Amino acid sequence: MNTDTNGYLNMELLRFTTAGSVDDGKSTLIGRLLFDSKAIFEDQLEAIERASFGTGAEEVNLALLTDGLRAEREQGITIDVAYRYFATPKRKFIIADTPGHVQYTRNMVTGASTANLAIILVDARNGILEQTIRHAYIASLLQIPHVVICVNKMDLVDFSEEVFRTICKDFTAMSSRLDIHDVRFVPISAKLGDNVVERSENTPWYSGPTLMHLLENVYIANDYNHHDIRFPVQYVIRPQSNDFPDYRSYAGRIAAGVLKPGERVRVLPSNIPTVIESIDTMGKSLEAAYAPQSVALRLKDEIDISRGDMIVGENNPPRVGQDIDMMICWLNEKPMALNGKYILRHTTKEARCVIKEVQFKVNINTLEKDIEDKRIGLNDIGRIRIRTTQPLFYDSYRTNRITGSVILIDEGTFVTVCAGMIV
Task: Name the pTM for this structure.
Answer: 0.83
> Region 154-162: what's the mean pLDDT?
96
**Helix (H/G/I), strand (E/B), else coil: 50:** helix
Domain 9-223 class, CATH top level: alpha beta
- 13-22, 71-80, 98-107, 404-413: range with lowest mean pLDDT: 71-80
Q: Do 230-313 and 319-422 agree at the fold level?
A: yes
Residue 402 CA to residue 123 CA, distance in Å, equals 33
In percent, the amount of the chain with pLDDT more than 70 equals: 85
| pLDDT tens digits along 50-71 | 776 666 665 566 666 655 434 4
Helices (H), 243-287: none
Q: What pLDDT shows up at residue 10?
A: 40
- Beta strand spans in 69-132 (E): 82-87, 92-97, 117-123
Distances (CA, A) of 11 to 14, 15, 148, 210, 290: 7, 11, 19, 20, 11
| pLDDT tens digits along 325-359 | 999 999 999 999 999 999 999 999 999 999 999 99
Q: Between 243 and 103, whose confidence is greater? A: 243
Closest CA to 297 of 226, 393, 242, 231: 231
pLDDT at 11 over 50: no
Q: What pLDDT shows up at residue 126?
A: 93
**118 neighbors 19 (Cβ within 8 angstroms):** yes
In percent, the amount of the chain with pLDDT more than 90 equals: 59
Residue 46 CA to residue 38 CA, distance in Å, equals 14
Q: What pLDDT shows up at residue 289?
A: 94
Domain map (residue ranges) of the chain:
9-223, 230-313, 319-422
Q: What pLDDT shows up at residue 365?
A: 75
Out of 3.40.50.300, 2.40.30.10, 2.30.40.10, 1.10.240.10, the CATH code matching 230-313 is 2.40.30.10
Q: What pLDDT shows up at residue 78?
A: 42
CATH 2.40.30.10 fits 319-422, yes or no: yes
Number of H helices, E strands in the chain: 7, 23
> Region 311-337: what's the mean pLDDT?
94
Residue 172 CA to residue 178 CA, distance in Å, equals 10
The arrangement of strands across the sheet holding 146-152 comes to: 82-87, 92-97, 13-20, 117-123, 146-152, 182-187
Q: What pLDDT shows up at residue 241?
A: 78
